[in-house]
A and B are shown apart, each in its own frame.
Chain A
Amino acid sequence: MSTAILRATAADLGARIAAGELTSVEVTTAFLDQIERVDGEVNAFLHVDRAWTLAQAEAVDARLATGENLGPLAGVPIAVKDIFCTQGVPTTCGSKILEGWLPPYDATVITRLREAGLVILGKTNMDEFAMGSSTENSAYKITGNPWALDRIPGGSGGGSAAALASFEAPLALGTDTGGSIRQPAAVTASVGVKPTYGGTSRYGVVAMASSLDQPGPCGRTVLDTALLHEVICGHDPMDSTSIDAPVPPVVEAARSGDVRGLRIGVVTELGGEGYAPGVELRFREALAALEAEGAEIVEVSCPHFSYALGAYYLIMPSEVSSNLARFDAMRYGLRVGDDGVNSVEEVMRLTRGAGFGDEVKRRIIIGTYALSSGYYDAYYGSAQKVRTLIARDFDAAFEQVDVLVSPSTPTTAFKRGERTSDPLAMYKADLCTIPSNMAGNASASFPCGLAPEDGLPVGFQVMAPPLADDRLYRVGAALERALDTARGHTLLDELAESPAGAYLNVVEA
């Protein structure tokens, strides 16, 4: 029973709860038990409070019992990245500087989850302030990739991706500034979507780089992710950059998966040298599968994508240096050296020295430098010009094709510790994902197979024009259907049933 719940899709769980076959408490308990069983090894969660979570499930069951219609995901539990403010519940962003802080308010996305009857299982681990591609920059713990615990689960949303892949949660929330939803999805064989910038409210999401950050849905299937997308997206007056337009028909697209006549452009610049052979192989197979489903595949050049990474590492740290200034020991969070003798500046210096990790400090320093007088034009100014050129590349490409595609990441999950001393190697994990953050268009990663050389998941990235998020789901659903049909099961089922996944204990006895 419990195993069936853990392996079920969110759509299925929601339907069975709505039909009265299951209660939210039963479903939620199954996932809380799984967290208790395996999270000691996976380390996906930073904060779980069983009583708090079960109280939410009971409340949803009570609402459903009155006949209230809460939508298709009512009663389904969800893991939330620790960057979303949750009222009265610890929100650390993986940083020591926010240890013990209890936000007095809920992020808009959290409010929407509650209104739709979703049940928050806990807060998931992440790179400190979402800065990283391996979740190794968390100040609290190192999360393992459920496919191979000594490998990274991606980052910054490694906790959310690992929770999905280890069957600790059927749904999860992430945020994507340069790939923090898509890259973890790629290396764990889950689905991750970065909606169009402005599609999801950022209110209550602790900011890393405001012009790039975008919250989004994560799931184990395309439909589950689309259902969550529909719950969390939509206009919010509390976020000035939120788009006042209807949410694209993502659920319909995920159910249809019809790609007949769809023009798919393969980005020339995102492939070739530096890409693992297994990644290239599975990517090409996926293209063939989509072609077989009726899509038309063409090659498209986006010449300025090659400059995206460099420009990103100027714009992002510039905004980081300003956004993280508020962590000054004055009002909340950590305070070090407040001995009645030290000056305000000294307490601030000691607190930030102790409370921020190396990567955060590195980006604050780079950003402060890039914005300083005399350097602004050369760094921030030039990077903004590159950003405009990247957006123009997308515009030109979308005149020829309906979506663009590439591998989600150049390689599969690397080993823990492998790139921690080489920031540039770490940054390259986001090579393919960054252009969509720079331009603000919609983008997603879908599982497309296991690389033959290491047996680890490969992600297939789809990029769609702004506000055409539904096209992501259309392609994702087609791919899922074609690959799973050919394979006879999903990739995560394969993990669950394999010896490597035995510790997950999600196979019917």
Chain B
Amino acid sequence: MDDLLTYGEALERFDPVLGLEVHVELNTASKMFCGCTNHFGSEPNTNTCPVCLGLPGSLPALNGKAVESAIRLGLALGCSIAPRCRFARKNYFYPDMTKDFQTSQYDEPIAFEGVVEVEVEGQTFRIEIERAHMEEDAGKLVHQGTSGRIHGADYSLVDYNRAGTPLVEIVTKPIRGTGTLAPQVAKAYVDYVRDTVLALGVSDAKMEQGSLRCDANVSLMPKGSDVLGTRTETKNVNSLRSIEAALTYEIRRQGAVLAEGGRVIQETRMWHEEGYTTAGRSKEQAEDYRYFPEPDLVPIVADAEWVERLRATLPEPPAERRRRLQADWGFTDLEFRDVVNGGALDAVADTVAAGCPPQAARKWWTAELARRANEAGVDLAALGVTPTQVARVQALIDEGTLTDSLARKVFDYLLAGESDPDAIVAAHSLAVVSDEGALSAAVDAAIAADPGTAQRVREGKVQAAGALIGAVMKSMRGQADASRVRELVMGRLQP
């Protein structure tokens, strides 16, 4: 195991410098250079053709939609778009590479010089983006053996379905001045990229499926120094939480190395969900990729008119949208953070748009429905309850047709596959009983059935009334307004 400083000690002695590389898999219908379906989860090697298999003689033909997505993403990250840029070949051997070179971009990225701002604990951090370039993804090796990892595998299989999936790689400039918040800033930045990508609709951005991947670089500078330290690049970081955890770990590990007078080795580190990193490929000897301009593709020309047309399609930036929504809804910071962290922002917004009061929408999505999604082990969006349904249920409550507990029963039916809250209320007789006659009769019956309790209430033990109210609610199958029942009970026993 590595020696570690405590996080506090490490940050007392060193300043971390971050560098983040985010790979975004574009969700275009077809792959980057051929007509094959671009889909995660198909049978291995079914979405392939001579082009993405790199067969002799095959040639790439660029997917214009991928270029469009890359330009829109670049614009949304505040980048300039190159009026003319080229692809380049990155030459290296690996079994998941069909051509043994990757078609990428080198000195002419499609987007460059961007800037985004993220907020952590009330502080705003400005993150400069060096470049966003296009490249193709490689296939995938599946190691067969007990370990499931390359070491100890008996053999490996290759699935080329992913080969040729369009990617955009976004590279930041070194991020300084984050201090103790470095891991949180990194997480907030990746979250920002993810939100942006989702708002643009250019990727599924699922870290657990690899459609959004982050390589987290970090180095440490002694306090007061201006000389960059040796960095490590941590891979296999498959969730936002892992970014924070992996960087915290690397800062503590590098801190311990440097504190003992050691030297940080420039290398890739693999993150393990158990909470540590291990050494990967050494990068001490820079690999020579022998980049040169891709002769099989003509340069991409993005004329100003096209770029402006694409700029007009950009959605409201996520940060601005959040500021606007919080103000519109009048949520406290805490309430708003619950909504965002619960992944309920879009659901709440859509529910409010369907006519629901914001606080009610927030309550349903962050409490009741979040609990049910959690129980079912699915995302809120996949739960099967729509914002329109939630808004209608709340309207029924506001009209007095449903109580909160009756509303929960409506959600049971919605989750069981029914779709119209009004029809559910009618079909299952869930409406609040407002017939005073029926209610009075039930109250009388409850008092008659439990004279002992009734007597204690008469003698002033108000808390005992709860049992009588409960009995009435039970006999009404919950379809009564509990406060009205209380009024009736107390009217009878303490006139």
Interface residues of A (CB under 8 A from B): 84-85, 91, 93, 98, 101, 103-105, 107, 202-207, 209-211, 237-241, 318-319, 321-322, 325-328, 330-332, 344-345, 348, 368, 371-373, 376, 380
Query: Which of B57, B95, B158, B296 is close to A206, meaning CB atoms less than 8 Å apart?
Result: B57
Q: Are B54 and A326 in contact (CB under 8 A)?
A: yes
Q: Are B290 and A107 in contact (CB under 8 A)?
A: no
A203 CA to B295 CA, complexed, in Å? 13
Q: Are B56 and A203 in contact (CB under 8 A)?
A: no
Q: A98-B56, A103-B55, A107-B57 are in contact. Are A240 and B98 (CB under 8 A)?
A: no
Residue of A nearest to B100 (CB): A325
Q: A210-B296, A325-B100, A376-B292 are in contact. Are A330 and B61 (CB under 8 A)?
A: no
Q: Are B55 and A203 in contact (CB under 8 A)?
A: no
- What 10 A-B pairs are tightest by C-beta distance, nearest first? A325-B100, A211-B295, A371-B290, A210-B295, A206-B56, A204-B57, A85-B57, A373-B288, A206-B57, A326-B99
Q: A105-B50, A240-B298 are in contact. Are A322 and B58 (CB under 8 A)?
A: no
A497 CA to B60 CA, complexed, in Å? 49
- Chain A CB within 8 A of B297 CB: yes
A241 CA to B87 CA, complexed, in Å? 13
Q: A104-B50, A322-B89, A331-B98 are in contact. Are A205 and B57 (CB under 8 A)?
A: yes
List, sorted by A's number, 6 A–B pairs whose CB atoms are closer than 8 Å: A84-B57, A85-B56, A240-B59, A240-B296, A319-B292, A373-B288
- Chain A CB within 8 A of B270 CB: no
> How far, in Å, is A102 (CB) from chain B's closest CB?
11
Q: Are A328 and B93 in contact (CB under 8 A)?
A: yes
Q: Are A238 and B56 in contact (CB under 8 A)?
A: no
- Chain A CB within 8 A of B91 CB: yes
A319 CA to B101 CA, complexed, in Å? 12
Question: Which residues from A are CB-within-8-Å of B53?
Answer: 331
Residue of B nearest to A84 (CB): B57
Interface residues of B (CB under 8 A from A): 50, 53-62, 89, 91, 93, 95, 98-101, 158, 286, 288, 290-292, 295-298
Q: A240-B60, A371-B290, A372-B288 are in contact. Are A325 and B101 (CB under 8 A)?
A: yes
Q: Are A240 and B61 in contact (CB under 8 A)?
A: yes
Q: A203-B58, A240-B60, A330-B95 are in contact. Are A322 and B290 (CB under 8 A)?
A: yes
Question: Which residues from A are CB-within-8-Å of B98?
Answer: 326, 331
Query: Which of B292, B297, B298 is close to A322, meaning CB atoms less than 8 Å apart?
Result: B292
Residue of B nearest to A201 (CB): B59
Question: Which residues from A are CB-within-8-Å of B93?
Answer: 325, 328, 345, 348
Question: Which residues from A are CB-within-8-Å of B100?
Answer: 325-326, 328
Max count, chain A CB within 10 A of own CB: residue among B57, B93, B158, B295: B57
Query: Which of A239, A328, A371 is close to B292, meaning CB atoms less than 8 Å apart?
Result: A371
Q: Are A332 and B55 in contact (CB under 8 A)?
A: yes
A211 CA to B101 CA, complexed, in Å? 17
Question: Which residues from A are CB-within-8-Å of B95?
Answer: 330, 344
A332 CA to B101 CA, complexed, in Å? 17
Q: A368-B290, A372-B288 are in contact. Are A103 and B57 (CB under 8 A)?
A: yes
> How far, in Å, is A139 (CB) from chain B's closest CB?
15
Q: A326-B99, A344-B95, A371-B91 are in contact. Are A104 and B55 (CB under 8 A)?
A: yes
Question: Which residues from A are CB-within-8-Å of B291?
Answer: 371
A344 CA to B59 CA, complexed, in Å? 26
> How far, in Å, is B144 (CB) from chain A's closest CB?
14
A318 CA to B54 CA, complexed, in Å? 19
Query: Which of A103, A319, A330 is close to B295, meaning CB atoms less than 8 Å apart?
Result: A319
A327 CA to B98 CA, complexed, in Å? 10
Residue of B nearest to A97 (CB): B56
> How far, in Å, is B62 (CB) from chain A's closest CB?
6
A10 CA to B454 CA, complexed, in Å? 115
> How far, in Å, is A156 (CB) from chain B's closest CB?
16
A206 CA to B89 CA, complexed, in Å? 18
Residue of B nearest to A213 (CB): B295
Max count, chain A CB within 10 A of own CB: residue among B61, B291, B298: B61
Q: A210-B295, A326-B99 are in contact. Are A238 and B57 (CB under 8 A)?
A: no
A344 CA to B286 CA, complexed, in Å? 22
> How far, in Å, is B53 (CB) from chain A's closest CB?
7
Q: Are A380 and B292 in contact (CB under 8 A)?
A: yes
Query: Which of B59, B99, B295, B296 is close to A325, meaning CB atoms less than 8 Å apart?
Result: B99
Apart from A210-B295, A238-B59, A326-B98, 12 more pairs, CB < 8 Å: A103-B55, A105-B50, A204-B57, A204-B58, A205-B57, A207-B56, A240-B62, A240-B296, A241-B297, A241-B298, A325-B91, A344-B95
A147 CA to B95 CA, complexed, in Å? 47
Question: Which residues from B are CB-within-8-Å of A332?
Answer: 55-56
A380 CA to B106 CA, complexed, in Å? 16
Residue of A nearest to B50 (CB): A105
> How far, in Å, is B35 (CB) from chain A's closest CB?
10
> How far, in Å, is A285 (CB) from chain B's closest CB?
39
Q: Are A103 and B91 in contact (CB under 8 A)?
A: no
Q: Are A372 and B290 in contact (CB under 8 A)?
A: yes
Residue of A nearest to B155 (CB): A340
Q: Are A240 and B57 in contact (CB under 8 A)?
A: no
A85 CA to B298 CA, complexed, in Å? 23
Question: Which residues from B are CB-within-8-Å of A202?
Answer: 59
Residue of A nearest to B35 (CB): A238
A204 CA to B89 CA, complexed, in Å? 20
Question: Which residues from A are CB-within-8-Å of B297?
Answer: 240-241
Question: Which residues from A are CB-within-8-Å of B54?
Answer: 326, 331
> How far, in Å, is B416 (CB) from chain A's closest CB?
49
Q: Are A103 and B292 in contact (CB under 8 A)?
A: no
Question: Which residues from A are CB-within-8-Å of B50?
Answer: 103-105
A376 CA to B91 CA, complexed, in Å? 14
A206 CA to B55 CA, complexed, in Å? 9
Residue of B nearest to A319 (CB): B295
Q: A371-B290, A380-B292 are in contact. Are A322 and B91 (CB under 8 A)?
A: yes
Question: Which residues from B are CB-within-8-Å of A322?
Answer: 89, 91, 101, 290, 292
> How far, in Å, is A82 (CB) from chain B's closest CB?
12
Q: Are B296 and A241 in contact (CB under 8 A)?
A: yes
> How far, in Å, is A203 (CB) from chain B's closest CB?
5
> How far, in Å, is B31 (CB) from chain A's closest CB?
14
Q: Are B56 and A326 in contact (CB under 8 A)?
A: yes
Residue of B nearest to A340 (CB): B155
> How far, in Å, is B292 (CB) from chain A's closest CB?
6
> How far, in Å, is B487 (CB) from chain A's closest CB?
78
